[in-house]
Amino acid sequence: MNIAVLQFPGSNCDQDAFQLFASGLGLPTRFVWHKETGLGEADLVVVPGGFAYGDYLRCGAIARFSPVMGAVREYAEKGGLVLGICNGFQILCEAGMLPGALIRNSSLEYRCLTCDLVVEDAGAAFNPRTLGKRIRLPIGHGEGNYRIDEAGKARLEANHQILLRYLDNPNGSLDGIAGVRNEAGNVFGMMPHPDRAFERFHPSTDGLAVARAVLSVRFPEVIRKTA
Amino acid sequence: MKIKVFVTPKRNVLDPQGVAVGHALESLGLAGLKGARVGKVIELEVEGADTPLFRSQLDKLCRDLLSNPVIEDYHYEILGS
């Protein structure tokens, strides 16, 4: 098992994501700098939160063209697992690896709080049976307002691609959507932070179950060992 | 030549900034406001000629980088060389 956490100039949750997998789940984890053109052996690529390239132009718009993202795209096309958290979710949407886009919160405020999330049935690994019906995760973002057109939303629903919805919508997201996966089921993105929810001093430890669910899509045995 | 690229939120996409700016304009006394949208202008200066090939390259760059077609529209003006 080998977890690769990307680092862009402006990433600020790279250490949190690293610790979630390294200390939370006890898995071999390493960083990959955005200038790398290859990922090496990786079983999961995490695109962490922050403000990659200062969020200039649009959140994720410039990060999408960094050298490492070419490798991530190739890796995902071969079926590799990818998890984008917060700014990482924005980057994956900008890259077209996940459907939809994230715009300014409807309140125009940066929202920083712990949210109750409804777990949707998004397939074998990510569903209320493995995660429970509700989980609590922190959010911290100014552009988390998920948008997709009607046809796109219908596809998300028909393919069970919605992962999580906010119980109390903090940012104006369409239908309270907080996280989605791609149709193939190997690319995951969410605005809430599982990487800020795994230590006893965190507001919840539900991030561990989320990380396990993402991994157990491919690696059920490894995950049983970390449970 | 000088190029001005205008990027605006799509008509059917909520524009929270536009709504807030609209409210401020009304509170400053603007009557009859029917809508406000906030976008951005990107000014480019490029050496070369305005050819169909250049326009197709510019369109691709507008779609790939300068705008996000999921939520935004763009158009541009090319000002004399």
Give the 3-state secondary structure of residue B48: coil
Q: Which of residues 65-84 of A touch B (CB under 8 A)?
A: 65
pLDDT at site B12 = 86
Domain extent listing, chain B: 2-79
Tokens for B11, please give them.
Answer: 């008509």
Which residues from B are below 8 Å from A107, CB to CB?
A: 16
pLDDT at site A221 = 79
Mean of pLDDT values over B22-32: 95
Among candidate residues A30, A158, A179, the one with its CA nearest the CA of residue A99: A179
Among candidate residues B62, B13, B4, the one with its CA nearest the CA of residue A100: B13
B14 touches chain A (CB under 8 A): yes
* A89 within 8 A of A182, measured Cβ to Cβ: no
A106 touches chain B (CB under 8 A): yes
* B71 within 8 A of B37, measured Cβ to Cβ: no
Beta carbons of B13 and A103 less than 8 Å apart? yes
Query: A96 CA to chain B: closest CA distance, Å?
Result: 10
Among candidate residues A45, A133, A138, the one with its CA nearest the CA of residue A95: A45
How far apart are alpha carbons B40 and A212 in whole angstroms? 41
* Beta-bridge partner residues of A162: A180
Query: B50 CA to chain A: closest CA distance, Å?
Result: 25
Among candidate residues A42, A39, A11, A40, the one with its CA nearest the CA of residue A28: A42
pLDDT at site A124 = 80
Query: A175 CA to chain B: closest CA distance, Å?
Result: 13
Is the pLDDT reported for residue B30 higher than 70? yes
Cβ–Cβ contacts within 10 Å for residue B1, how many?
Answer: 14
pLDDT at site A227 = 62
Question: Total domain count for chain A?
Answer: 1
ipTM of the complex: 0.83
Beta carbons of B16 and A61 less than 8 Å apart? no
pLDDT at site B1 = 94
Which residues from A are below 8 Å from B18, CB to CB?
A: none
Is the pLDDT reported for residue B81 higher than 70? no
Cβ–Cβ contacts within 10 Å for residue B35, how many?
Answer: 9
Low-confidence ranges of chain A (pLDDT < 50): none
pLDDT at site A181 = 98
CATH number, domain containing residue A221: 3.40.50.880
Residue ranges making up the domain that contains A20: 3-226
In whole numbers, what is the pLDDT of chain B averaged over residues? Answer: 94
| CATH topology for the B2-79 domain | Mth169; Chain: A , (3.30.1280)
